[in-house]
Amino acid sequence: MSALAHMIESRGVPSVAIGLVRPHLEATRAPRSLFVPFQLGRPLGEPGDAAFQRRVLLHALGLLERRDGPVILEDFAEDAPNERDTPGWQPPFALPAPPPSAGLPAALAAAIAHLGPWWDRAQARFGRTTVGLCGLPPEAWPGYAAPFLDGALPAAPSAFSPALTLRYLADDLKAFCMEAVQAEGPAASSRQINAWFWNATAAGRMLLALRRVAQASEEKGLQTIARFLVPVPWLPADHQ
């Protein structure tokens, strides 16, 4: 984002960057940037809080009026309002228990087959999906990911490298499961949804296993994408 801000400014258009990682803003030195201490992925704060989001945007746009540059980096003074857990929330379905002898790819395939109809309901409910980055349909994900667990690099289905395809597959898998679990019932907090995904699903276990393999790989691409597979707050102690 800061690199884009530099490019826009070079063409004579003033810009403001909003960032969630302060060291990145310090290193990239955008002409104007606002650091916000919020959850990653939520640069304006919690969903649905229009008044708070407006305050963030107005603060950022206010930097356009400043004349004390050439580089302005300011901290937003407020924390985002805490998202509250929904009391008693449970997924609207129970995932099937895989056979004791089933490996991770088989367990993931069974979970995806079970979640497919719920994902369809979620798309009907919300009118959108963020799944579709890796270029593979959900039923193909376990087969593509499995060779990585054995140290192999399968052929990528598109112009992406195998490692980048795996990174996008991980993003698709998280979105697929987290959308499906919101297909019916009351809204859960992001913490509740993440706790379910990382603690109770074959998808979460698969991504943790892939992260371990990617970290240990001699393939530079896999080493690079390892840190994108699992958010740090959801890493078990033996993965940190």
Look at the pTM and tell me if it is higher than 0.75: yes
Q: d(Cα 162, Cα 159) in Å, to the nearest integer?
A: 9
> What would the pLDDT profile of 65-84 be if each residue is shown by its tens digit?
988 878 899 999 988 877 78
Gap between the Cα atoms of 236 and 240, Å rounded? 7
State the DSSP H helix or E strand holding residue 19, giving kind and residue range, or none if neither.
strand 17-19
- Return the pLDDT at 240: 56
Task: Assess whether pLDDT exceeds 90 at residue 190.
Answer: no
Q: What is the average pLDDT value for the chain, to the nearest integer?
A: 91
pLDDT of amino acid 1: 62
Q: Which of 11-15, 117-121, 140-144 has the lowest mean pLDDT?
A: 11-15
Q: Is 156:165 a contact under the CB 8 Å cutoff? A: yes
SS3 content of the chain, % helix, strand, coil (to 5): 55, 5, 40
Query: Could you give the CA distance from residue 226 to residue 131 in angstroms, rounded to a whole number?
Result: 20
Higher pLDDT, 84 or 175: 175
Predicted pLDDT at 12: 86
Residues 6+ apart with CB under 8 A from 102: 110
Q: Which of 155, 165, 143, 159 is nearest to 221 (CA)?
A: 165
**C-alpha span between 226 and 231 (Å, rounded):** 10
Q: pLDDT tens digit string along 5-57? A: 778 888 888 899 999 988 889 999 889 999 998 887 889 988 778 999 999 99
Angstrom distance (rounded) from CA 15 to CA 204? 38
Contact 12, 6 (CB under 8 A): no
Read off the pLDDT of each residue in 183-199 and give the average, rounded to a whole number: 93
How many residues are there in the chain? 240
Nearest 5°: the CA angle 132, 166, 237 is 115
198 CB contacts (<8 Å, ≥6 apart)?
Answer: 204, 208, 230, 234
pLDDT at 172 over 90: yes
